[in-house]
Amino acid sequence: MSLVRKFLTVGGGTLGSRIFGFGREMLMAAALGTGPMADAFYAAFRFPNLFRRLFAEGAFNAAFVPLFAKEIEGGGKEAAKRFSEEVFGVLFTVLLVITIVMELAMPLIVRTIIAPGFEAGSDKYEVTVTLAIIMFPYLMCMSLTAMLSGMLNSLHHYFAAAVAPIFFNIAMIAALGYGLWAGADPVSVAFYLSWAVLVAGLLQMAVLYVGVRHAGMSIGFRRPRMTPNVKRLLVLALPAAVTGGVTQINQIIGQMIASTKEGAISALQYADRLYQLPLGVVGIAVGVVLLPELSRSLRAGHLKEASNIQNRSLEFSLFLTLPAAAALWVLSDEIIRVVYEHGAFNPETTTVVAGILAIYGLGLPGFVMIKALNPGYFAREDTKTPMRFTMISVAVNCALAVSLFPFFAERGIATAEVVSGWLTTTLLFVTLVRRGHFDMDRAFAFRLVRLVIAAGVMAGALDYVSTYASPYITPQSPLLQQVGAVFALIAVAMVVYFGTAFAIGGASLGMLRRNLKRKPGAPPVAADQSPQD
C-alpha cells in the first residue's frame, strides 16, 4: 500500500470520528451552551485527556512502535508478543497505581490544577470533582488502547485504530440524546456524559483487542518485571510523553487561566473541536503512518527513501492543511454560526468562539507539521530533543497566556498556543536540517511556495464571495439554508484552491498518481524528480 493510501486510510477513519464528534459538539452546545456545567464537564475531562496524551499517544507512538518493529524484524512475531506482554504487565500496574492516587487526590487536583478559578465548595467545584473521579479511569482504558494501536500500526493494520474513536463519539451522542429527550437538567446531562466517557473507553479497548487478534497476535498478562526492553521503553517514553502532549499541556495551562472567567473554558473547547477536524484527519494520519514507515527505512539503511518519505509527508500535509487554515480564518463566523448557534448557544457566544477559531486557523499548519516532524526524531530513538523544545514551548505559552489574557481574554490564550506551536515547529525543523536528518528536496521547495500562493488566492476569493452569501447565513435564516450556503462557500474555495494549485505547479496529477499506485516494496518517487511533472 502506498504512503498516500495509508494516509487516506487513517485519515478516512479519523474523518468519520470527527464527523461524529461534530454531532456530539452540536448536541453539547444545544444542551449546555457555555454555561457552568459545560465548563465543569470540559474542565474535568481535560485532566484524564491530558494524561491520555502524555502516557498513551505520546509515549507509545514515539517509543513503543520503533521497539516493537525492531522485535518483529529481529525475532518475528513471537519475540514481539513477548515484548508486548512484558510492557503490558508493567503498564497495567503503573496505571492502576496512578488511577488510585489521582482518585483520592482529586479534590486537591481540581482546586490547584484543573480549575483553580472555581470557588472551592461551590456547586460548580463539587460537580467538577465528582465528574473527574468518574472519568479518570478512562486513562487506563485509553493507555492500553494506545498500546494495542501501536501494535496494529507496526503490523501495518491502520484502519481499526483509526475508527475506534468513533465509538467514543457514539457513546457521548447517546448520552446527550437521552438527556435532551428526557428533558434532563444540565447537572444530570454532565453526569450522563461522564459515565459515557468511561463506557467509551472500554468499547475502544475491546475494538482494538479484536483487531490485534485478527492481525494474528495475542497478549497475556505477565508479572511486572523491569526487563532490558521495558527499561529501554521507559527511557524513550518519558521524554516522548511530554513531547506528545505539548498541545494538551498548553491547553491545560490555558484552562487554568480561563477558569477565572465564566464560559471561557467551554468557548475554547468549542473552537478547539472545529480546528481538530483538519488537524486530526491530516496531522494524526501522517504521524501515525510516518513513524513505522520511517523506522523501517532507517533500520534497513535506506536513507534516501527515508528522506523522500519525510519530504512527501510534509508536502501532502501542507497540500491539505494550508487551504483549511485559510478557510478557518475567513469563514470562522459562518462556520460557528451554522455548527453551534442553536439552543443555549447565542450570537454573542458565536462572536467569541469564532474569534478563537480564526486564531487557531493561523496555527493549524504549524500544529500539523509538528506531527510530521516528530517522527524524524522518534524513528532514530531520540525523544529527548523534542522534549527540550516542548519545555521551551510550554514556557513561552505560559508567559504569553498570562500576559495576554487580561487584555484579550480567550483570544489571548489561543494566541499563546499558536505562537508556542509555531516555535516548536521551527525548532524541530531547523534542528533536523542542521543534523543532516532532513534534506528539503527541490520538488518540495518548488511546490511549497506555490501552495502558499494558491491558499492566498483562495482566501481572497472566499472573502469576496462570502459577502454575497452572508444574507443566507443569519440567525434568522432556516438551518438548511445556512448549511447550504456554507457548503457552497466551501465548494468555491476547493475549486479556486485546487484549480490554482494545479495551474501554477503546486500539485500535479502525475505526482498524486505515482504515490497512490506505488506498491509495497516499490521504490518511492525520486526525491530529485522534476517538480513540474
The Cβ of residue 203 has, within 10 Å, a number of other Cβ atoms equal to 18
Q: Cα 394 from chain centroid?
A: 17
Give domain status of residue 11, yes or no. no
Number of domains in the chain: 1
> CA-CA-CA-CA torsion for 231, 233, 236, 242, nearest 10 degrees?
-110
Question: Could you identify the residue written with the cell 437538567?
Answer: 185
Q: Identify the residue with better confidence: 223 or 498.
A: 498
Q: What is the pLDDT of residue 532?
A: 36
3-class DSSP state for residue 158?
Answer: coil
Give domain status of residue 317, yes or no. no
Q: What is the pLDDT of residue 419?
A: 93
158 near 288, Cβ under 8 Å?
yes
CA separation for the pair 314, 306 (Å, rounded): 13
Give domain status of residue 318, yes or no. no
Give domain status of residue 289, yes or no. no
Give domain status of residue 296, yes or no. no
Query: Which grid coordinates belong to 255?
Result: 484552562
Give domain status of residue 349, yes or no. no
Q: What is the pLDDT of residue 301?
A: 67
> If we measure between CA atoms, which residue out of 14, 100, 16 comes closest to residue 57?
14
Give domain status of residue 118, yes or no. yes
Structural domain span for residue 112: 36-251
Which one of 224-233, 482-491, 506-515 scores highest in mean pLDDT? 482-491
The Cβ of residue 105 has, within 10 Å, a number of other Cβ atoms equal to 11
Reported as a single tens digit per residue, the pLDDT across 2-46 is: 555 555 555 555 666 667 766 777 777 777 766 788 888 888 887
Give domain status of residue 321, yes or no. no
For the residues 261-269, what does the mean pLDDT come to?
80
What does the radius of gyration of the chain's CA atoms come to, in whole angstroms? 23
Reported as a single tens digit per residue, the pLDDT across 348-395 is: 888 888 999 999 999 989 888 887 787 778 777 787 888 888 889 888
